[in-house]
A and B are shown apart, each in its own frame.
Chain A
């Protein structure tokens, strides 16, 4: 621990040699070291200068961002790719408020990030001081926990609690606000003996033996079961147990957007991505299932469509760590609250002898045949010859992607096309903004991933609308030699907005938008830019871009303007009423 090497003013505990007197800024950085943090994403400012003054004493990598929203998304990308908490830091006032979108994004997608903000000196709080903001008040609804530290003596405990809360139970963002005087004051520091005092914070495990037995009884009777694998399978590191369970019962497995990569798309039992823009056959399978086991998915509206029609022929077993998710949007026949890894391991332990399930297993071949028949009933999307279609571009980006690469997305049409086509088969390899739907997320998130895995290929699939929200982070990527690839699916529109406006009102006011010359933009920031206008150029440019390893790359794919995402469930419709391309 770095604490022993610090320029402490004096050692207070001569016996244990573990207590030192440090400033708040030193305590902050020492806590990060003790929590295993290696990278922080942030921007300095007036009230946190004491931290930046002390930073060179600590072996922490600091990624200087161009906007604090980027810092929060980078921390998210880092956390989603590694499974470890991401850390970001901002100064008071606008620095802090700029974090809000990233915190909300992490909240709705259950991402463990810890955000630190400075604030004005305690004596000025409430005085409308320069760059004062009640950031704890502002972020209360979009954080799992937040706190303003009023005394330097409480700082280490607050930070220890922040990491504990962010990373345990259902993960989520935590914010710690530190007034300037707290960072400048000194006190004794002994992290190992700093205790967490959160008696109300518990991670319950309420499922019973009877719950598990009921699941098995339902599986005995099921002839058309489906398992829906959600983001909780990934964040709970339960993918191995879920795979083993699905294989033991030969269950068809569908995935939510957040669950992509949690169950291998190369597994023959995988039936695809489901929800509003999910694969037709996956949605129809869920609509016709007689048993739906939902693992780590909150059954949000983009997942279920009309909730009273969702899986209406099925008994639903909903397994989730978060009790508040159960019976919230969809009424389950059997809600089970507990850690997914434990629940599925317990189910596996109880089913080493599969004799009682013989009848159900004998029906599975017919069920798979039925699902296969839905795959062939619909025509695949067709693309005009010679025109650069966004779907084709994304298919080729995936084709050339190294198998150990990562992909992030922005939000919009390109995100759905990527979810349908980017079949990476590792957890934490497909990183997207699901709950909040944050345009501008993908590029800074990709920088966070690249900072954690500097030698891997990291691709951001972007829209021209989304990329223009956070493109200033090109400078961050360039400064740190992070070779993120940005594939802009450039259709000259806010594509999803245009699609909805076209479908609902037969016109699309204000969805048309211009872009800068992305090749020049990349070069201006010290990166490399390509432009692609014809299908014949796609493969060569992608290979060139993937080969660049020392600077950011932009590929401007000038795709046809009015391609639509299919399948598509109109607002308020049920998933089995989805429109496919041959019904548009």
Chain B
């Protein structure tokens, strides 16, 4: 996994979303995700419905990538529509990684891996205090599904943007035996 010298990962900091972070022009190339990030993410963070974490170069407020964490899954498509049906994961206590995205000009440089593991680190500490079965996310496409499967996420359904789950015991194993 070679890092492109144009993005020095050593200068990246990941912190909770702050007022000065501008998400209105963030672009990762996935239109639904971009729409959600540009229009909804900050408000949902402010309402405490999700927690957004942003990766920025040190001393900069320009967001290179981000992810969100929540106990309940928020479907980006449903968030943009009226009259949402009940969420189908109601029997599944999990931590949900939502909207994991890297801006177009910072893609393929390892930042997505950094963001995923950072999210798993936070999920691990939460799981030490709150009972959950795993860490879940919705995979964007076949490429990410294959990648998450290699990481040990189980595929729950065979549809577009399927729910995938990393069991909490795999997470414990990673954090305590690596």
The finding on whether chains A and B are genuine partners in a shared complex, rather than unrelated, reads: no
Q: Which B residues form the contact surface with A (CB < 8 A)?
A: none
Binding site for B on A (CB under 8 A): none
